[in-house]
Structure 1
Amino acid sequence: MREHPLNWLSGHARQRRAAGLRRELRPRSAGEPVLDLAGNDYLGLATDPRVIEGGLAALREWGAGSTGSRLVTGSTTLHAELETELAAFCGYPGGLVFSSGYLANLGVVTALSGPGSLIVSDGANHASLIDACRLSRARVQVVAHNDVLSVDEALAARTERRAMVLTDSVGSVDGDHAALAALHQVARARGALLVVDEAHGLGVCGPGGRGLLAEAGLAGADDVVATVTLSKALGGQGGAVLGPTAVIEHLVDTARGFIFDTGLAPASVGTALAALRVLAAEPERADAVLAAAAAIAEAAGVPAPASAVVSVVLGDPEVAYAAAGDCLARGLRVGCFRPPSVPEGTSRLRLTARATLTPEELDRVRAVLAEVLPGVRGPGASIVAPVG
């Protein structure tokens, strides 16, 4: 008699538990007395009354859902308004909203590559970009993180007619910056498209929070495409692709994650549009994020980061998990990143800054970290927060 097809799960779970890698859902309650430095609400807009009202107004006008895919009934005038304003704010000719940043990455990479093309992908790219590469059916060459020379060599040696260079602008784990100007120079010289995920750049980096591509003077270039998420600095849900009009039109025709997915709910579109307008009117929020990140980094005893992300590498996954639990027990929620989210031996605490953190809240952060970190910084631990 054959064994049950799911018997292997128990052994898999035991192995993960022994390695300190089991995960669990921990639902949070509204209004709980915990200071959150684990989420990605970089500008503090998720609870801003103007943003909430934007969602409520859209909910009242359009209802709970978009009712269909964007090509059937899922596109509203509100979607078009967000796409126009988001593209203009970030400096691109056009934009296309997806129901998540993950799907935006899957959509743009698969639609602009395919068999007979090459993707040169940064080794530290987000999982959504990695999965996009796997689905693309292109030849994928992974290079070391921020290794521009290796990118150039891969492009120079290719036999494919089309090529794409793929990177995050700001690392989701370490918060470091990609060498976008150098990457673009190499890509342009080799006839390759540069595709950049600005998920952690929008709202934090660049002039008025317009992203790292804008800071590098590359926003709107005819051989550059950006993706953004609406779920981090803009405090809501969804994602978008920004780039040349021809690219946007091609995605409407070919991006499966756009064509076959229900459109982003109007309430999410309304919150994103309201948040974007707050950011445009209050560009100082981007500076406030970086100032808060610097204060958190100082409290953790690491260099000030060039983004909202402060990373404290502790090495062992169980040590990092226990340290995160100790912080939470003291009223401070921090992220705990373990393999496969990070490489083996680099489990860490990930603390994210928020523009609206008060001096009193920063004092709480200092007090908690002063109690927790000395007990976990042993001979095997390394403490880093990459700069630039």
Structure 2
Amino acid sequence: MREPVDVRRQRILAAVEARGQARVRDLAVELQVSVVTVRRDVEELTREGRLRRGHGVVHSTLPAQELPGSDPARTDGDTVAVVVPERHSYLYETLHGARSVLEEAGMRVALHIVPPAGGAERPLVERALADGARGLLLAPRWRTPAVEEADHGWLAALEVPAVLMERRPRPGSALHAGDSVCSDHWYGAHLAVEHLVGLGHRRIVFATRDDSPTARSLRAAFREIAEAHPLVERWTWTLSSPEAGQDGPYAAHETADVPALLRELGATAAVLHSDVDALMVVQRLAEDGVRVPEDCSVVAYDDVLAGLGSIPLTAVAPPKAEVGRVAAELLLQRLAGGPGAGSPVRRVELLPALTVRGSTRGPAPVPS
């Protein structure tokens, strides 16, 4: 599913403002869209007065003294590097939350976008440090536990303050004693299950992607909650996308067609991570003559795109922007050497919220 236009334009604006200027071709590569698409977006942003076009180059319209890193009194030591995976709209919202705090504090934000290849974070972090970054905000991709484990040692040995965003290292690992700010995904799973059970659903299918730490946390949470819930009669878990599991830690038999699994289980509801997979499942259910929410209720997990579907989806929304803001505030305290700089390591958890839309209702009565 294509990224919404407004999200893509926000990413273009953020990239240009972070650097002062950017080449159209470079933006197209970073966003993985055509040059024509970027030019069209830039034209609209220019019309709105938010950017200024040059020959193949886009300039920020912020006054020179307001551009990150443009103040002659600043040095490279005023830079914070933010490292996030490419094409990850969830974490871009987190980025925007962090950016608002850092720029208000006079810090320059240097954005580093990580390609899909395993181990791609380390070279980018090393480059950021070589360029003089004083601190780091990190959301490593960590497609598998093994990839995560391989990063623990060098991340724990960093000589500058670093805060992980939406990443919770394994207890007892080298990174366990590091600052992190996360959404409480167990609570998010709890909200989804309680909403459906409260509507009368007793058989539920859970589907998650296995290419992120969030998906793995959700899988464990759904399992724990469903097994303990007195009103959940039957449940099962699967991968929401066959492609998601190709490089993951799960066996092939754990990938199943969600609509077929709903029929097999006699389930009347599904909770799906992420939004894109949830929207695609709703489309496939419609092709099979299954109506949402009349025949099947659907809850999405992420709430980045869930409200944009032909049927707006009820969704659990982790506090994405707030995660970024809190992470940036914690990093600034460490950098300032003031209160909090020498305090114990903090692992902050923020609670998600549930937004009810048109994709959930009580199950249809069983014919007598």
TM-score range, shorter chain: under 0.3
Higher relative contact order (CA 8 A, sep 6+): 1
TM normalised by structure 2 equals 0.26
Q: So what's the TM-score if we normalise by structure 1?
A: 0.25
